Amino acid sequence: MMEKKSVSVTLEQVTKKFKNVKGKSDVIAVNEANLVIAPGELVTLLGPSGCGKTTTLRMIAGFELPSTGKIFIGNEEVTMMPPNKRDTATMFQSYGLFPHMTVFDNVAYGLKLRKVPAEQIKERVNETLAMVGLADYGDRAPSKLSGGQQQRVALARSLIVTPSVLLLDEPLSNLDALLREQMRVEIRKIQKDLGITAVYVTHDRVEAMSLSDRVVVMKDGHIRQIGPPSEIYERPNSRFVAGFVGKATFFPVLVKAKDEEKWVCELGGKEAMVSQAGDNVVVGEEAVLMARPESLRLVEPGSGHIEGKVRMNVYLGNSLESFIHTSFGEVLVQIDDPHAKKVYPEGSAVSIDFAPDRVRLLNKDEK
């Protein structure tokens, strides 16, 4: 593999409108997105379907044109540049392998277009196929390979042209769970080794968490939050992000006061302390208290914040999920290492407790 200098990717106020055919209003797929991806970084675009993540990726690749805004790869503006002139390589969800060519010819395609001498092509294709573990598969037709192997061919085909930016559009969604995990690790390894800047689109939060340097959470064309996986999970700043990246319960509260470190709020008639809050939380107004299942504890009735009754326990081995019926509805509490802790049997009355630094106040709006 040839060494290449890593480059950054910058999106400046990028908006994409799709004209609606039947004279209805236009659909805004991406709305004023600003994003700077550092050289060598792997950034995941995460969001539900229709949030604009694939459109964003396709704009970076050049398959779609932004309606307004600018895109830079390195220091060069590429907003209007056609895909074949950009130094990007895309891996498609459906792989887009050329069915009329052998595996070897598929991988060699990009090099042939670059007029690389035949000798060198052979050498480099074999090298790249070996790297993705398909050394002996050159003569096969793509249709004769399994899904995972096809995916590797697509990867090899993208990597052999040593792109500055690798774009991955849900590349693992057609694979089974086990293979997906393997490939995920492999892609990450290769990307780190080669130092390629990568943009990865997925709707799978586990994939996003485990793979990325940073995660961009999108909804309805808007970027909702950008941050490392831990920040996105632990310190979401909106109810949507909190709910999308992991399980969470939202308790309605009234924010009463804020001192230097803590917020004071009213939760079901009792006072509760919370030490962190997202954007748009205002004293004197309603808000929600976000709690992850693993942040909640079960204690003796009357000694916690919320009273309830155990409706069902689900044993998972390393943890136990307790579904508690409360006046706020059903609340999920996760008890890690259940052997070492007290487990309240189904039907017994309990109280739910939490530490102020393990929960977070968020604006009550879903958006």
Partner 1 sequence: MFTKKRIIQFCFAALLFLSLDLWMFNTLSANFRTYEELRNFNEIALFAQTAPEEETAQAYEQWIPTVKSIIAGARAYYFTFDESQGLFVPSSGSETNLKLWNENKNSPEFKKAMESVYYLEPMKLSGSYKADFSLDPDIHSNEAIASQAYFVPVIDANGYQANGAIMILVPNSTATGYVNLLRTLFIAAAVIFLGIMLVISFTRDPMTGFMVLTLFGIVLVFIAYPLLEAIRLSFIKDGVFSLQTWKETLSPTYLVALWGSLRLGVLTATISTIVGFMFAFLIERTSFKHKRVMSILATMPVISPPFSLSLSIILLFGNNGLISKQLLHLNTSIYGLAGLTLVEVIGMFPIAFMTISGVLRQIDSTVEDASLDLSATRWQTFKAITLPLSAPGIVSAWLLVFTNSLADFANPLLLSGDYRVLSTEAYMLVTGRSNLGAGSALSFLLLMPTLTAFLIQRQWVAKKSYVTVTGKPSTNLTELTSKPVRLTLETISWAFIGFIVALYLTIVAGCFVVNWGIDYSFTLANWGEALSRGWTSIRDTVTLAAIATPTAGLLAMLTAMLIVRKKFPGKRILETLIMTPYAIPGTLIGISYILAFNKPPLLLVGTGAIIVINYVIRELPVGVENGITALHQIDPAIEESAADLGADVPTVFRTIVLPLVRPAFLSSMSYTFVRSMTAVSAIIFLISARWNHLTVLIFNFSENLRFGLASVLSTILIFIVLFVWALMQVLVKDDKLTQKTISTR
**Among 5, 22, 24, 114, which residue interacts with partner 1 (rule: CB under 8 A)?**
114
Q: Which stretch binds partner 1 (CB under 8 A): 98-106, 185-193, 327-335, 342-350?
A: 98-106
Write the interaction track for partner 1 spanning residues 192-231; mark x where CB under 8 A is met and - where it is not.
----------------------------------------
**Residues 232/39, Cβ–Cβ less than 8 Å:** no
Backbone angles phi, psi at 286, to 5 degrees: -80, 155
Q: Which stretch binds partner 1 (CB under 8 A): 56-64, 213-221, 236-244, 315-323?
A: 56-64
Q: What residues have CB less than 8 Å from 149, skipping those under 6 apart?
A: 134, 137
Q: Which stretch binds partner 1 (CB under 8 A): 106-114, 128-136, 246-254, 279-287?
A: 106-114
173 in contact with partner 1 (CB under 8 A): no
Q: What residues have CB less than 8 Å from 319, skipping those under 6 apart?
A: 294, 334, 335, 336, 337, 338
**Among 43, 46, 61, 211, which residue interacts with partner 1 (rule: CB under 8 A)?**
61
**Residues 244/46, Cβ–Cβ less than 8 Å:** yes
**Among 4, 26, 38, 83, which residue interacts with partner 1 (rule: CB under 8 A)?**
83
344 in contact with partner 1 (CB under 8 A): no
**Among 57, 71, 161, 362, which residue interacts with partner 1 (rule: CB under 8 A)?**
161
**Among 44, 95, 124, 240, which residue interacts with partner 1 (rule: CB under 8 A)?**
95
287 forms bridges with which residues in the sheet? 253
Minimum Å gap between C-beta 182 and partner 1 is 23
**Among 13, 20, 34, 94, which residue interacts with partner 1 (rule: CB under 8 A)?**
94
HEC profile for 40-87?
CCEEEEECCCCCCHHHHHHHHHCCCCCCEEEEEECCEECCCCCHHHCC
137 in contact with partner 1 (CB under 8 A): no
Residue number, 171 or 236, with CB nearest to partner 1: 171
153 in contact with partner 1 (CB under 8 A): no
**Residues 154/99, Cβ–Cβ less than 8 Å:** no
Residue number, 154 or 187, with CB nearest to partner 1: 154
Size of the site for partner 1 (CB under 8 A): 36
Number of alpha carbons in the 13 Å side-chain half-sphere of residue 366: 3
Q: How far apart, in Å, are the Cα atoms of 66 and each of 11, 63, 88, 93?
A: 10, 10, 17, 22
Eight-class DSSP state of 201: E
Minimum Å gap between C-beta 86 and partner 1 is 8
Strand ranges inside the chain, DSSP E = 9-18, 27-37, 42-46, 68-73, 76-77, 88-91, 165-169, 197-202, 214-219, 222-227, 249-258, 263-267, 270-274, 286-291, 296-299, 306-315, 319-326, 329-336, 349-354, 360-362
Determine how β-strand 214-219 pairs with β-strand 42-46: parallel
Q: Which stretch binds partner 1 (CB under 8 A): 43-51, 83-91, 216-224, 314-322?
A: 83-91
**Among 21, 23, 25, 99, which residue interacts with partner 1 (rule: CB under 8 A)?**
99
Minimum Å gap between C-beta 31 and partner 1 is 20
**Among 6, 50, 63, 234, which residue interacts with partner 1 (rule: CB under 8 A)?**
63
Whole-angstrom distance, CA of residue 26 vs CA of residue 68: 14
Residue number, 166 or 320, with CB nearest to partner 1: 166
**Hey, what are 198's tokens?**
């990568």
146 in contact with partner 1 (CB under 8 A): no
96 in contact with partner 1 (CB under 8 A): yes
**Which residues would be at the binding site for partner 1 (CB under 8 A)?**
61-63, 65, 80-86, 88-90, 92-102, 109-110, 113-114, 141-143, 154, 157-158, 161
